[in-house]
Structure 1
Amino acid sequence: MRRLLASIHDVSPRTEAQVDRLADQLAGHLGGPRFAMLVVPDHWGGHPIAAAPAFRARLRGWADQGIEMFVHGWYHRDTGSHTGAAGLKARAMTAGEGEFLGLSREEAGRRMREGKALIEDATGRPAAGFIAPAWLYGPGAMAALADCGFALAEDHFRVWRPGAEGRPLARGPVITWASRSGPRTASSLAFAALARHTLHALPCVRIAVHPGDVTKPAILASIDATLAAFARRRPAGHYADLLPEPAASA
């Protein structure tokens, strides 16, 4: 079955107004709240959900509508230093937000477990999975994923089940946009335009939006065009739809 999976990243008290705007935009194309939210427990160390009861209530309300809730790091901020391939990723693929790129297995696992407990307490439901900030995982984070009981994980090119031999449940590049510089914005707009014509054969198409996208009308227009192009040809679904059906009891 062909699916369209959409998500809003960086959901936190810091970004609530932008998330509201993006949620309305996605729901308008997808026929309702048929998307996921990636929740940051303490965005950049200054916006703890644990100290924001009104926002916790919003998370529960969104979850009650059927929106999947993923744990999205803890701080969404990378305070480590990196060399080699990790350093290249940290410089080229994110602006200091690859939080899980250099963490040890123990520290990554601690942040994953605490984030999972926080979001599950707020929503009253199991977390849908874990997605690292900027989709960047170091060796410690990859090892910790198998320890923490998450059903799903995602990076730029796949969705998989942690601890299940890393077998992909979906493959293909995620369509997303970059707002932090003119050249990056232009590149992301060009890729989205290309994707609208070339990715229809994929069984699963993923579209991810970020709070910063609302600052640029060209990005918002591209999001509209991209959602419309894929929603005409495939239904919006849930990440959980990728999981195999549990075996029937005898």
Structure 2
Amino acid sequence: MSQPASQPSVRKRLLASIHDVGPGSERQVEQLYGLLEARLGGPRFAMLVVPDHWGQHPLRANPAFQARLRGWADAGIEMFVHGWFHRDSATHSSGTAQFKARHMTAGEGEFLGLDEATALQRMRDGKALIEDITGRETAGFIAPAWLYGEGARSALAKAGFALAEDHWKVWNAATGNTLAKGPVITWASRSPMRTASSLAFAALARQTLPLTRTVRIAVHPGDVTKESLLSSIDRTLRRFAASHTPSKYAEIQ
């Protein structure tokens, strides 16, 4: 009796990223770059670039950091637009938005309360700036703190980005089609309680997510301030680099 044809194995991917990249975080980004490069076998991760973090670190006015960004892009790093200011200065009228702004981020959900026109302008300006600096098309747009209001979601379909991401999925920014599902593993440094919670989640993820087709890991400049976070990040990268192929976001399209 003939045996049934074997099914092709599903390739499991690891998508890693450094958030909040800009002139004000250069030292921390360099440290995280070294860690991710070592654990993933090369520059197989993305950077999320903030054009003017909190209005204090304008990328446009820093040629030296522009050169660093261009060098990283030339090495193969994918560049995402990560808001414009990162800071949330909107007044939120709905209870849901107020809750997210208060409990899911420390005043950094920039795109949670923007109207469509403002969100679209900032998206397009960020895309143009980063593409001009790197000479390459941006990989996509990821809102600060992964928080999108209705205006931002409407703007995404018009801004010309290939990809977008939130806490739970990656999707085609133009069509809305979901490309990958599952929680992103990230860490928090702004309070002892949040740090402890993020360490616990990362430990749980190392046990429960190995069978997941796509695993996402996101690190932030503030993570370098606590040795416990760096140790957890290292263990998590090692764990998933052993079971998932470090990949580019573009490969899941």
TM superposition score normalised by structure 2: 0.95
1:201 CA displacement: 1.2
Q: Distance in 2 between matches of 1:131 and 1:178?
A: 18
Q: Structure 1 residues 15-24 or 83-92, which shifts more?
A: 83-92
Give the structure with higher Rg (CA): 2
Aligned to 2:146: 135
- Are 1:30 and 2:40 an aligned pair? yes
Aligned to 1:78: 88
Q: Distance in 2 between matches of 1:23 and 1:157?
A: 24
1:80 CA displacement: 1.2
1:151 partner amino acid: A
Q: Distance in 1 between matches of 2:19 and 2:235?
A: 19
**Residue of structure 2 aligned with 1:204, choices 214, 221, 236:** 214
Give 3-state SS (helix, strand or coil) of 2:179's partner.
Answer: strand
**Residue of structure 2 aligned with 1:102, choices 113, 129, 132:** 113
**Residue of structure 2 aligned with 1:64, choices 63, 69, 74:** 74
Aligned to 1:167: 177
Aligned to 1:179: 189
Aligned to 2:243: 233
Give 3-state SS (helix, strand or coil) of 1:232's partner.
Answer: helix
Give 3-state SS (helix, strand or coil) of 1:16's partner.
Answer: helix
2:238 partner amino acid: A
1:233 CA displacement: 1.1
Q: Distance in 2 between matches of 1:134 and 1:7?
A: 13
Aligned to 1:145: 156
1:163 CA displacement: 2.2
- Are 1:157 and 2:168 an aligned pair? yes
1:102 partner amino acid: G
Unaligned residue ranges in structure 2 (runs of 5+):
1-10
2:114–2:152 CA contact under 8 A, matched in 1: yes
**Residue of structure 2 aligned with 1:8, choices 14, 18, 32:** 18
When the two chains are superposed, the root-mean-square deviation of aligned CA atoms in Å is: 0.5
Give 3-state SS (helix, strand or coil) of 2:18's partner.
Answer: strand
1:77 CA displacement: 0.2
Task: Give every structure 1 segment of 4 or more consecutive aligned residues whose post-TM-superposition deviation is greater than 2 Å.
Answer: none
Q: Distance in 1 between matches of 2:70 and 2:105?
A: 30
1:221 CA displacement: 0.2
2:162–2:174 CA contact under 8 A, matched in 1: no
2:20–2:82 CA contact under 8 A, matched in 1: yes
Please list the CA deviations of residues 153-193 of structure 1 after superposition, one character each: whole Å capped at 9, or x if unmatched. Answer: 000000000121x2210000000000000000000000000
1:235 CA displacement: 1.3
Q: Distance in 2 between matches of 1:27 and 1:70?
A: 18
Q: Distance in 2 between matches of 1:201 and 1:153?
A: 23
Unaligned residue ranges in structure 1 (runs of 5+):
244-250
2:45–2:78 CA contact under 8 A, matched in 1: yes
Please list the CA deviations of residues 40-85 of structure 1 after superposition, one character each: whole Å capped at 9, or x if unmatched. Answer: 0001001111000011111110000000000000000001122300
